A and B are shown apart, each in its own frame.
Chain A
Amino acid sequence: MENLIEIRWHGRGGQGAKTASLLLADAAFNTGKYIQGFPEYGPERMGAPITAYNRISNEPIRIHSNIYEPDYVVVVDDTLLESVDVTAGLKESGAIVINTTKGKEEIEKLLPNYKGSIYTIDARKISIEALGKYFPNTPMLAAIVKVANVMDEKDFLEDMKGSFAHKFAKKPEVIEGNMKALELALSQIQKVK
């Protein structure tokens, strides 16, 4: 991992992008890193575009502003590709990770000015298979951990087991499904460019 990585999340209110950014911060924290996880608060409404951010570093993080030149971008909802400039400032050495069933050509058409790497994952299919419901944030979390090489996959899964046990203390029946969603995502994420 680079000394400082900056990640920007694009999602829609209710899809859990904020929660995913906080879980990513947690996971990285548990590997000994310095972390920031924060959403950009706006007039929050179900379905409205939202942004969340992560910084992960080997050194204390002092900067307190939004992220304008991210190393990675995560797009939790591919309809945002048409309405939000998701690759704004994205470093070409970095990558964008998109929850989509669209193919390479279709995506490239939607991101005409972007030259860096593109990864895709069908988080809907994974979520329905693992959880029976559409919660894209869990697969997207696993996807970015893998693409940004935030931590070892095994350590990540072990750590998330603990986090889910804590988070879902009152609904232990969903822990297994969430773990399955992470595992499926780690194996199904694909580089299209």
Chain B
Amino acid sequence: MGIRERLSGNEAVAYGMRQINPDVVAAFPITPSTEIPQYFSTFVSNGTVDTEFVAVESEHSAMSACIGAEAAGARAMTATSANGLSYMWEMIYIASSLRLPIVMNLVNRAVSGPLNIHNDHSDAMGVRDSGWIMLFSENNQEAYDNLIMAHRIAEHKDVLLPLMICQDGFITSHSIENIELIEDEKVKEFVGKYTPEHYLLNDKEPIAIGPLDVQTYLFEHKYQQAEAMRNAKRVIKEVAEDFEKMTGRKYSFFEEYKMEDAEIAVVCMNSTAGTTKTVVDSLREKGVKAGMVKIRMFRPFPAEELAEALGNLKALAVMDKSDSLNGAGGALFEDVVSGMYTAKKQVPTVSYVYGIGGRDTTSKDIEEVYSYLQEVAKTGNIDNPYRYVGLRK
């Protein structure tokens, strides 16, 4: 039996980091993720962890310090949001290409400009091709659980990729909610010790990390990264199975909510999934065969599995909390649609951009999406596939 508590999303993450007790945490404060290193630094000061806390002067340095620590053979973590992630940009790619299993908490916030501190997913979508594993979290519980699973996935010898855990800024990061925590000893045993095979401080095996990689081999190294990402699917599944044995909480690549006989469905991520579930319930009471799919594992992307889960629908909406500003659909929409096309699944599908810059997403907004899907399911016609919800008229 876990520990019944009430914590904000940020508190839950800091609590999990205390239990993991990493060797190094390097971070620079940025709203709404600031509380994570803030709370964690109190654990450092109180001596409840023996982590080396590096209070860097920027996010670029935060990621650089994590890279240095991880390359040396240490377990390193950080947290950031929005422009903090933007400032890490070049180091984000270095971390993944050097195959360093750093774990980062990304508290999703709109990337400026103009300046906005509120939630959307534009920060995460900007790094979707950077070679990081990306897990999304509906609430504080999932942000915590994903964190406890993170190192086992990232550090697996067939993976060795950095991993970021996303949760919605303010909406879950600053909301106090119930949570079931895992006992310290169980977390310690589950996460295990970090024993890298190759690392800089191993005097028996002098190595160089990150030297020049020209035409002869960069391609192959990128292929290996892509292979590692493909391997991550198996490892993410295995770790989730172990996690379920410990906690009873089941995690898959995505959560299917009332999808067995669904005719229309919404695909979304993070906190909106909770609101969508309540809308699905009320639609079901009215006899509408509605369902929802919440993506947990966004990178690697579960294209085949999603095509299978969504392939028999009469209409589908994919909701992006970030506009790709490309004159076409959002990033999640494109991923879902290309996966379905490749698997020869033809479902009328629309893109909905929503919740930009912290625009509150209400049950009414979600009802509007399902209402349009009912029309599409009836007629098979889509007047405009690139849609918005919650936008001022």
**Interface, chain A (partner B; CB < 8 A):** 22, 25-26, 29, 34-39, 41, 60-66, 68
Using CB atoms, name the residue of chain B closest to A57.
Answer: B178
Q: Compute how far the CA of A29 lies from the CA of B176 in the bound complex, rounded to whole angstroms.
A: 10
Instruction: Tell me the nearest residue of chain A to B141, going by C-beta.
Output: A60
Cα distance A188–B239 in the bound complex, in angstroms:
56
- CB within 8 Å of A: which of B145-197? 168, 170-172, 174-178
B6 at the interface (CB under 8 A from A): yes
Do A37 and B176 touch (CB < 8 A)? yes
Q: With a CB–CB cut-off of 8 A, which chain B residues contact A36?
A: 175-177
Q: Which residues of B sit under 8 angstroms from A37, Cβ to Cβ? A: 175-176
A60 to B140, CA, bound (A): 13
Chain B binding surface, main DSSP class: loop
Report the Cα distance A176→B271, complex, angstroms: 40
The answer to whether A29 touches B178, judged by C-beta atoms less than 8 angstroms apart, is: yes
Residues on B facing A (Cβ under 8 Å): 6, 32, 117-118, 139, 168, 170-172, 174-178, 271-272, 274-275, 277-278, 360-363
**Cross-chain contact A38 with B363 (CB below 8 angstroms):** no
B271: chain A residues within 8 A (beta carbon): 64
Question: For the complex, what is the distance from the CA of A25 to the CA of B174, rounded to whole Å?
Answer: 13
B272 touches A64 (CB 8 A): yes
Give bound CA distance, A38 to B174, whole Å: 7
CB distance from B271 to the nearest CB of A (A): 4
> Which residues of chain A have C-beta atoms less than 8 A from B361's C-beta?
65
The answer to whether B363 and A35 have CB atoms under 8 Å apart is no
Q: Is the CB of B177 within 8 A of A65?
A: no
A64 pairs with B362, CB closer than 8 A: no
Q: How far is the CB of B291 from chain A (nearest CB, A)?
A: 15
27 contacts between A and B (CB under 8 A): A22-B176, A25-B176, A26-B6, A26-B176, A34-B178, A35-B6, A35-B176, A35-B178, A36-B176, A37-B175, A38-B171, A38-B174, A38-B175, A39-B174, A41-B174, A61-B178, A61-B274, A62-B277, A63-B274, A63-B278, A63-B363, A64-B168, A64-B172, A64-B274, A65-B275, A65-B360, A66-B362
Of all chain A residues, the one with the shortest Cβ separation from B176 is A37
Min CB distance B209 to A, Å, is 41
In contact, B275 and A61 (Cβ under 8 angstroms) = no
Whether B362 contacts A65 by the Cβ 8 Å rule is: yes
Partner of A41 from B139, B168, B170 at Cβ < 8 Å: B170
> How far does the alpha carbon of A37 sit from the alpha carbon of B177 in the complex, in Å?
7
- CB within 8 A of A63: which of B6, B174, B275? B275
Name B360's contact: one of A29, A35, A62, A66 (CB within 8 Å).
A66
